[in-house]
Every structure is written in C-alpha cells, then in structure tokens.
Amino acid sequence: MYRWILLVISLILLASCSHTELAYRNADWLAYRWVDGLLDADRTQSERWPQLFEQVMQEHRQELLPQVVALLHEASAQADHGFSAEGLHCLWQDAQRLLEAHARLVVPAAVQVLGDISPDQVEQLGVAMKDRNAEYREAYLHPDPVEREAERVARYAGRVERWTGGLSSDQEDLVRASVRRMPDMSGEWLRYRERQQQRLLGLLREGPDSRALEGFLVAWWVDQADRGPALVDAYPRMRDGWIEMLAGLNSTLDAQQRTRLVARIAELRDDLGSAIGGEVDLVSSARTGLLCSESL
C-alpha cells in the first residue's frame, strides 16, 4: 500500500507526454486497479474504494496539480536558460515539499482502505510485499559488485536520457564518475522498507484504530521516520550528487539535447495543466509554498 502514493508521481515523471493527460484523468481508476490487484477487493470494497480514489484525485487536481504545473514551468524556464547548482537545489526542495504533500493527501484514503480489509487480505498484502521486495532485490542488488555498479550507472544514464535523448561518450563518463561518488543505499533502503512493512502488518493484524494507523503512515510516508543513521546521512550526499551531476551535464548539452529537454518539460507541463480544467494561475500556485516560483 505504501507504493500507492507513487502512482501520481510516476504519471507526472515517467508517462509518455502524449498520454500524460489521459493517464492523469484516469488515475483514480488506475489506483483502484492497483489496490485491487494487491488485495482482491470484495463486492462492498469494489463499490466503496473507487469513489474514495475519485475524491482523492479531485482534491489533488484542486490543491496539488497547480503546484506541480508551476514547478514544471519553472523547471522549463531554468532548462532553457541553463541549469545552475542553485536553481537545481531550489527545484529539488520544491519537489521534496510536493512529495510530502502527495503523501499527506493519500494517507486518509489509505487509512480507510486498510481499515476495511479482512485478516485474509492482510496476509495477502504480506505476500504481495514479499514478492515486490524480491523484484526490488533482483533489480537493484546484483550479487556481483562490479555488475551491480554497471547496472546502477546504466539506470542513472537512462533517467537522464529520457529527457535529453542519447548521451555522448563524454557525457556518459560524467554520469559514471558522478554515480560512483554517490552512496549506493539500495540495500539499506530495502531493509528499512521491510522493517516498516512488518510494522504495518503487525498493526493490521492487531486491528488498530484509525488514529494509530494514520500516525504510523504519516511517520513512514511523510516523515520517513526510523530510517536509521546510514540512510539519514546518505540523503544529502545523494541530493548533492544528483545536483552536481545535472549541473555538470548542463554545460555539455548540445543544441538538440537542450531543445529536447525544454520541449519535454514544457509538453509535460501543458498536458498536466490542461487536466486542471482551466487556465493555470501560476502566481496563485507560487503562494502555496513553492520556493522556486518566486521568479514567475
């Protein structure tokens, strides 16, 4: 269930531009299909949960989507003029604030869903968590350290190429050097995730009240509590590593790569903006706490 929050974020960051608006407008249905796949909803749940997810998406469209569009507007402007380390840091801070806001938005719905499930569904959820942890382990924790590092570099390069198109050999070298300086916390993250999953399953097996469940989910999804010193210390190093890499790449982009990057961000902004159902008031959005929107 904790991955439900990633649905909207994935649509925003990874969807094909030509399908972003369609995917967003159907996000409530996609969310229900995701949860139903985990828990196999009964008749009552299959009637109640879609309405719940529709309400969440209505709130998202009113409260958070304008902020997402405003952030993409600023990112597009920065990409056009050339990213700086300071600008990227500002965008990162705003993105982090929005991630936390998305998590807070989803928590009440998740409490209702989890409060509805039967003991059999709790155990089914536990099996699904184990399966997804195994998938994570296979994707990110190759037993051969050399192969694991190569796969990690390839993932980072692929994330950049979604926005810029193919990288030159010099750009690939820059990515490789940057990734090697960043801590690989995949194992620590998985262990943290598994601990939190077991705590959640324990709460569900005890039949918690909604207040206890809400407090746990806010601590986990919003505050990322109990991560441990290794993960806490790694976060600023990962953030700074990403910013350093992107700022370094910025000076190496050719005209075609920069044009693609700006157009990719702008198209995503416009597609999501059209899902709001009216003109996007970027100035109003800036007043909701986005640091980088001061320049709008």
pLDDT of residue 37: 86
Q: Concatenate the DSSP letters of all residues of 193-244 into one string.
A: HHHHHHHHHHHHHH---HHHHHHHHIIIIIT-TT--HHHHHHHHHHHHHHHH
Residue 223 is predicted with a pLDDT of 92
Question: pLDDT, tens digit, for every residue of 242-284?
Answer: 999 999 999 999 999 999 999 999 988 888 888 886 545 554 5
Contact status, residue 291 vs residue 94, Cβ threshold 8 Å: yes
Write the pLDDT tens digit of every residue in 144-159. 999 999 999 999 999 9
Residue 250: name the closest of 111, 51, 123, 86 by CA: 86
Q: Which tens digits make up the pLDDT trace of 38-83?
A: 899 999 999 999 999 899 888 988 888 899 899 999 999 999 999 9
Across the range 179-187, mean pLDDT stands at 94
User: CA-CA distance, 224 to 248, in Å (whole number)?
Assistant: 30
> Would you say residue 13 has pLDDT above 50?
no
Least confident residue range of 2-16, 93-107, 194-208, 279-293: 2-16
The pTM is what? Answer: 0.86
Alpha-carbon Rg for the chain in angstroms: 20
Q: Which residue has the tokens 């050399």?
A: 146
- DSSP H or E stretch at residue 97: helix 85-116
Cα–Cα distance, 276 to 63 (Å, whole number): 10
Query: Please, which residues have CB within 8 angstroms of residue 204's CB and are 6 or more apart in sequence?
Result: 114, 117, 122, 125, 213
Give the pLDDT of residue 99: 85
SS (H, E, C) 114-163: HHHCCHHHHHHHHHHHHHHHHHHHHHHCCCCHHHHHHHHHHHHHHHHHHH
Phi and psi of 124, rounded to 5°?
-65, -40
